[in-house]
Structure 1
């Protein structure tokens, strides 16, 4: 059951109930994977943590691997979508989009205690299981493409559209985000609140500077 806008009980539709079940399973999986790692986690533990049966888990996901892949890809998609909204909102204002994006990603990471553990687990799992590496890489291509699209308006704003492939900037941004988040968890004082925001400003300022013609290249 759920509540409508008036606070009255409302029966969930089948699609809504399925979406809620999947969300609860994913949330439970995030905690179990982060605590025990991929190899140590079991579908029984995940289902129990979510308050469902093993059958409910398998009716929504093909198994532990599919659950893990969706957890990683879904989280990345959500962060990129929120980042897009942030950039669009500030483009007409005074804050630089690249600074706002850096601030948002750091704030999002601080709110998700499981994020650095899941990212590390994903990398370790891929390295230890070459036969599944392609599947893990494929799961990240959609959110990576969305992040690439997010970089294009920022490159245009700094006057460097086409100077560097947006895909390359997205890869550097993703690696910088993951690295700084892990370091912040390990040694918080070494990664102050504003560092990712400042690092993204440095990144785009550097791109803009290297894309501008040097004085000797400028037409007379």
Structure 2
């Protein structure tokens, strides 16, 4: 009987990325159970199967670990939005409708994370260092969204009357505000509202009135 083939050893970078991913997964589960204030670095490390030192070798503190979770979720949503606008997503036949579904999925299916976000926001208000970390994460999200907008506008061969950085700030604020409103009063934010709002926003921000074949405004 021949021996099984030996497993391929991970590179140092791959091992570090795997450790970070496992720590983030453990942190998400621990925060969901205990809340931000109640969760400890020690418990997160134990849940992930690592030492406390492994946490601190990847994150400066619990604040940075939590914000990394926020960043991961925000990145996934920006990627999904980019796929929708580029027509690569499975549900992107109607970009406006697909964007609306993205918002309702976040509002309706990611509700357990909402209290954690609110808890951290209140915590950060009282701790400037935490707010700085949160601001840096938000900036990364806005920059990623701005690149998506710039690409879309370039593909449509139109120009915006405002900088893409400002437009990304408005789109992100619109998304976050409608998510909060839908969680508060679902009937006030129908599934298609976000996509319609993005249409209206870009219709007033492009220098040409031409629209794409699918009816979505250029630059959406």
CA distance in 1, matches of 2:179, 2:68: 21
- Identify which of 136, 140, 150 aligns with 2:138: 140
Q: TM-score, normalised by structure 1?
A: 0.73
**Which 5+ residue runs of structure 2 have no aligned equivalent?**
210-220
- Identify which of 204, 207, 210 aligns with 1:206: 204
Q: TM-score, normalised by structure 2?
A: 0.73
The residue that corresponds to 1:13 in the other structure is 10
- Identify which of 161, 164, 167 aligns with 1:163: 161
Q: How well do the aligned residues superpose, as a CA RMSD in angstroms?
A: 3.2
**Which 5+ residue runs of structure 1 have no aligned equivalent?**
1-7, 214-220
Cα distance, 1:115 vs structure 2: 4.0
The residue that corresponds to 1:116 in the other structure is 114
Aligned positions, number: 202
**After superposition, where does 1:4-153 map in structure 2 within 5 Å?**
10-11=7-8, 13-14=10-11, 15-89=13-87, 95=93, 97-153=95-151
Structure 1 pair 199/117, CA: closer, same or farther in 2 (3 Å)?
farther
The residue that corresponds to 1:4 in the other structure is none
Structure 1 pair 170/204, CA: closer, same or farther in 2 (3 Å)?
same
Cα distance, 1:114 vs structure 2: 3.9
CA deviation map 1:131-150 (0-9, x unaligned): 43223212222221011111
